[in-house]
Structure 1
Amino acid sequence: MRRRFATIFFALAFTLALWPMLGLFAGQYTILRKRDSVERSDTLDLNLKVFSDYDETKAEDSSKRLGLQVELQKILSVNQSSSRAAFETVVALSSLLPRIRDVPRIKTPTPEAFRSYIAPVGLPVIFTDMLVGTRLADWNWDMLRARYGHQVFHNTRQGNYSTKKTSYGKQVIGRTSVSLADFIDVATGKRKPKKGEEGLYITKQRIIPKEALDEEFHYPPFYPGSHKQCYLEPTAWIGVPGTFTQGHIDSKDNFAYQILGDKRWTIFSPQDYENLYYTKTKGSLEWSSALSSLEKPDLEKYPLYAKTNPISFVVHSGEVLYLPRGWTHFIENVSPSLMINTWRYGPAAITELWSDFNKAEIRRRCF
């Protein structure tokens, strides 16, 4: 255990020192950067070599200077049986990581590299080629209309959030029923929307029949166990331009597949949680009303927001975003968009290096 703590924290200290040269996140995975319009990549092999070459004696001394032992005792003393306590552990561990300014795009790593050098860090990453060669890569609006157009979605969002709120503090939003064929015709401009068809957003719905999931859906290739035991059933999010999802936090590590169109994400690290003014019901932000402009809150009323570090980026068709638990995210459809996501069961991956119980739980579900 002592050796594990020392290795990880020297990795963080080493990365911070060499950040401008290596461009690595926490000494673990690749950042792709454009320099003089040429995309350059520090290879994952370099990351693995850097990680394996640490001097553990120096790492131990470094960890003592940082007061690591005391900090870890506080973190690991949290009762993990409570979902709230488990989330607070994610926030505490995230506070030990460096701030990031963007999300790297990398080629899909091997399962071993993902589990060892990406997932435990707790930072987001975009995989550019995970769907290449899969059935999902062949999807298009015409194919979807022909194959699944008969499906009717009865809880489709109609328009964006209003200023009215429920007794629980959540903003009211209209709902309607729409077939996928009608949605696609409106979204792709084949016909003008009828009354009640403006601002359609099909959210968290099944689009692939259960019996066809194994054939049609490409689960994240990082864990060797049963997909049904490791991942929640995939759900679809299909929206017209301008529709959005307000800021919120997922309770599990998320894999978001951008199948068609583009989505703009604005995310905040778990380090920013206390500065975002979540409501007591934890379902929304006190100041959030419109993602389309992502207006900043009144800083006189919400002064802590000035300390946050929002990161905005667009996920394009064919890319997959890995978003660890704890990251607040706003999402906006910037073109007719189809995203399918799945969440991994079990504790947040960032906790497995620090908790033998959590590591065993992930293995029980996904190996």
Structure 2
Amino acid sequence: MAQPQLTARSRCGGLDATIVLALVIGPCDGLFRMAQAIGHDAPSDIVIDRVPAPSQAEFERRYLHASQPAIFTDVVPRWKAWGRWSRDYFRQVWGKHRAQVMLTSGRNVQYDPNRSYAFREMPMGEALDRLERGSEDGAYLMLPLERYLPGLLDDVEVPSYCNARPGFRTRLWINAADIGTPLHRDFSENLIAQVRGTKQLILYPPEAAHSLYAFQRRSPVPGFSPVNAEVPDPVRFPRSVDARRAVVTLHAGEMLFLPSRWWHQVRSIEPSLNINFWWAAGVYEKIIRVAERLGLKASV
């Protein structure tokens, strides 16, 4: 949800490594801004394939390199998680483990445009209790598995599309029905695997940033938009009404490929449990590899 960040500094031959990376990142940002300034076609539906998982080569050709979302229908049911994961399972087996949650209020995740989400740590059992109460101080579990519950990865088969790729990260998401997120984009490639429940996602392509009044790059939340994609406001945000988009329903057992920089606003139709996989490709993969050679740690 943020621009690529360096978490360490190094020097290479007397040249500060952050300057080297700026030379890589800078031209790309310029291209992004140029794309945002280009006029948009008339509104039209964006077709999203719903197909069995393709081969690695076909995935890269049809979806990754083309920046085209798709839903794969036959991956998740092969996992141990498909028959094992439930709220009761997490309460009984992992209830005492620490969990990271985003706080919710009403039907939405709490969000401050000056600070992003409101996070808190608590035992998973307590987080599930808050989630099930449906109170104003509810919780939306967003758990980095590598940090909190690495053992859960034994229940899934990490797709070959992202396994061992630069910038690889996972998150476990558990939330009540009718909880939504603000409109935002990630700079990583993303696979969202729905294990329980159903979610609706409203998607916009990267070039829609201008129509979505995206917060500026120097703002605290450059990957967010003030537009409510569920009910675009023609008075405050007139350009958003005509922006091309796709409305996708992701059912249990399905996996959505969401390419880098695609805008998305998410709402759970039913109580939901899913895991996602982020990784870097294209220019962001190059940034991470350059950082690694310079002894830096970079993420997208």
* TM-score scaled by length of structure 2: 0.71
Q: 2:226 aligns with which of 255, 268, 286?
A: 286
The structure-2 alpha-carbon separation of the partners of 1:116 and 1:89, relative to structure 1 and needing over 3 Å to count, comes to farther
Cα distance per residue 1:286-339 (max 9 Å; x no partner): 344xx6xx2212x24422223302321211111110011121100111211112
1:208, 1:216 within 8 Å by CA — same for their partners in 2?
no
> What is residue 246 of structure 2 aligned with on the other side?
311
Identity %: 19
> What is residue 8 of structure 1 aligned with on the other side?
none
Q: Distance in 2 between matches of 1:149 and 1:161?
A: 22
Q: Secondary structure at the match of 1:102?
A: coil
Tell me how far 1:127 sits from its aligned partner.
0.4
Question: 5+ unaligned residues in a row in structure 1: which ranges?
Answer: 1-78
Q: Secondary structure at the match of 1:114?
A: helix
The reply to whether residue 250 of structure 1 matches residue 186 of structure 2 is: yes
Q: Distance in 1 between matches of 2:177 and 2:203?
A: 19
Tell me how far 1:121 sits from its aligned partner.
1.4
The reply to whether residue 331 of structure 1 matches residue 277 of structure 2 is: no
The reply to whether residue 237 of structure 1 matches residue 183 of structure 2 is: no
Tell me how far 1:135 sits from its aligned partner.
1.7
The aligned length equals 258
Counterparts of 1:211-226 in structure 2, within 5 Å, are: 211-212=150-151, 215-222=154-161
Q: Secondary structure at the match of 2:77?
A: coil
Tell me how far 1:148 sits from its aligned partner.
1.6
Cα distance per residue 1:1-28 (max 9 Å; x no partner): xxxxxxxxxxxxxxxxxxxxxxxxxxxx
* TM-score scaled by length of structure 1: 0.59
Q: Secondary structure at the match of 1:325?
A: coil
Tell me how far 1:106 sits from its aligned partner.
0.3
Tell me how far 1:87 sits from its aligned partner.
4.2
The structure-2 alpha-carbon separation of the partners of 1:121 and 1:102, relative to structure 1 and needing over 3 Å to count, comes to same
The reply to whether residue 111 of structure 1 matches residue 56 of structure 2 is: yes
Tell me how far 1:125 sits from its aligned partner.
0.2
Q: CA RMSD in A?
A: 3.7
Cα distance per residue 1:169-200 (max 9 Å; x no partner): x57x665554333444565x6xx46x66x432
Please identify which structure carries the higher helix content.
1
Counterparts of 1:56-135 in structure 2, within 5 Å, are: 80-82=24-26, 84-85=29-30, 87=32, 100-135=45-80
Q: Rg bigger for which structure?
A: 1
1:249, 1:328 within 8 Å by CA — same for their partners in 2?
yes
Counterparts of 1:1-367 in structure 2, within 5 Å, are: 80-82=24-26, 84-85=29-30, 87=32, 100-141=45-86, 142-159=88-105, 160=108, 165=112, 168=114, 170=115, 176-184=120-128, 187=131, 192=133, 198-206=137-145, 211-212=150-151, 215-222=154-161, 227-280=163-216, 281=219, 282-288=222-228, 294-297=230-233, 299-347=234-282
Q: Secondary structure at the match of 1:340?
A: strand
Q: Distance in 2 between matches of 1:185 and 1:165?
A: 24
The structure-2 alpha-carbon separation of the partners of 1:326 and 1:215, relative to structure 1 and needing over 3 Å to count, comes to same
The structure-2 alpha-carbon separation of the partners of 1:287 and 1:137, relative to structure 1 and needing over 3 Å to count, comes to closer
The structure-2 alpha-carbon separation of the partners of 1:80 and 1:135, relative to structure 1 and needing over 3 Å to count, comes to same
Tell me how far 1:245 sits from its aligned partner.
1.4
1:200, 1:243 within 8 Å by CA — same for their partners in 2?
no
Q: Distance in 2 between matches of 1:174 and 1:153?
A: 14
The structure-2 alpha-carbon separation of the partners of 1:137 and 1:91, relative to structure 1 and needing over 3 Å to count, comes to farther
Q: Secondary structure at the match of 1:137?
A: helix
Q: Secondary structure at the match of 2:151?
A: helix
1:149, 1:179 within 8 Å by CA — same for their partners in 2?
yes
2:109, 2:179 within 8 Å by CA — same for their partners in 1?
no
Q: Distance in 2 between matches of 1:301 and 1:235?
A: 34
Q: Distance in 2 between matches of 1:182 and 1:301?
A: 39
2:62, 2:68 within 8 Å by CA — same for their partners in 1?
no
